[in-house]
Amino acid sequence: MAGQLVKEWAGIQQFPAATQEKLVDLLAKLKNQNVDKLTILVMGKGGVGKSSTINSIIGEPVVTVSAFQSETPRPVMVSRSRAGFTMNIIDTPGLVEGGYVNDQVLDSIKSFLGRFLMMKTIDVLLYVDRLDAYRVDDLDKQVVKAITDSFGKEIWHKAMVVLTHAQLSPPDALTYEEFFSKRSESLLKCVRQGARISKKDVQNFAIPVALVENSGRCNKNEHDEKILPTGTPWIPNVVHAITNIALNGKGGILFDKKLIEGPNANDRGKLFIPLILAFQYFFVIRPIQKQIRYDVARETKPSWA
Ligand code: GDP
Ligand code: MG
């Protein structure tokens, strides 16, 4: 990538052998399908674990993680390559500040992408939130809406919901699976509403959900792989889900001038101009002409003429 340093993906060697094997297989699968590059955009609210997830997947501390506020001040792209395959991951600042979606952050993401991704595609969107959150509110919907307004509804064809803090004990009498399905269903419902995906279009936008546990205290299996409470090694699982999205047959989101500038309100208005003119002709001008002709015809000459 021009002007962008692509380093060897050394972090992959930090993973236990079992994980490395699965990752190498997945990269080979992508290359077999002629995909030798993936660009992954990571977005969500602040403090949900976006940066931590990137570090976990890359296997190195490549982006800054912070427990308190301030976090990623601007978007950052990390590029790693291995055996002819390049992965670009873009970390972004949280989209919410003081209870509102921060439009400046969205603009900064768009101008960053404009600089680095012009005429290139976003292949996968990771929409990150926490598993251990118990409610979804209007703000979540607004975050999804803001992403949709910026990148188009199609971005959800290329999206995956990532839930961090996956190593938890569910409250009440819920099993882990029940808790996971309740949490993901309510978040997916919010995504569908925020992205204005209609009921009949739901099949078309089957958005996968993957679990992540970034904590150093994550449980491991006998092969030393970090596992979810279900026993699934989560890193290969997430990369597998990313691979499926990349190969799902829907095109990536092309980053061109039109996307950066967004739908122009003036252009949208222009669509109605012919309609308004037609309306004026039939309902204003014609009746007036008719009335004038009628008046002229009815006019009696004054006696002096
Ligand atoms: P970001 O603002 O979305 O980029 O979030 P960060 O990655 O900076 O994480 C915010 C805080 O949450 C940090 O203290 C992380 O260590 C912590 N964190 C992130 N992911 C997890 C996770 O999966 N489990 C646990 N226990 N902590 C996490
Ligand atoms: Mg961050």
The reported pTM is 0.86
CA-based end-to-end distance of the chain: 88
Nearest to residue 91, comparing CAs of 157, 142, 44? 44
Nearest to residue 17, comparing CAs of 7, 25, 9, 8? 25
Residue nearest to atom 21 of ligand 1 (CA): 214
> Do the strands 96-97 and 100-101 form a parallel or antiparallel pair, or are they unpaired?
antiparallel
Say whether 221 sits in a helix, a strand or coil.
coil
> Do the strands 159-164 and 120-122 form a parallel or antiparallel pair, or are they unpaired?
unpaired
Ligand nearest, relative to CA of residue 214: 1
Q: Are 138 and 193 in contact (CB under 8 A)?
A: no
C-beta 49 within 6 A of ligand 1: yes
Torsion sign over Cα 269, 274, 278, 280: positive
* Consecutive H or E run containing 23: helix 17-32
DSSP state, residue 109: H
* Consecutive H or E run containing 287: helix 286-298
Q: Are 87 and 40 in contact (CB under 8 A)?
A: yes
C-beta 93 within 6 A of ligand 1: no
Question: How does pLDDT run along the chain (305 residues), one tens digit per residue?
Answer: 445 678 999 999 999 999 999 999 999 999 999 999 999 999 999 999 999 999 999 999 999 898 776 555 789 999 999 989 999 999 999 999 788 999 999 999 999 999 998 889 999 999 999 999 988 999 999 999 999 999 999 999 999 999 999 999 998 889 999 999 999 999 999 999 999 999 899 888 899 999 999 999 999 999 999 999 999 999 999 999 999 999 999 999 998 888 878 765 455 566 677 777 888 888 888 888 888 888 888 877 767 76
Residue nearest to atom 13 of ligand 1 (CA): 67
Ligand nearest, relative to CA of residue 162: 1
Nearest to residue 39, comparing CAs of 79, 4, 3, 6? 79
**Residue linked to tokens 């002629």:** 34
Contacts for 9 with CB less than 8 Å, ≥ 6 apart: 58, 59, 80, 81, 82, 87
Q: Tokens at residue 61, please?
A: 């501390």
Q: Which residues pair with 253 in a beta bridge?
A: 122
Tell me, in angstroms, the distance from the centre of ligand 1 to residue 11's CA. Answer: 19
C-beta 132 within 6 A of ligand 1: no
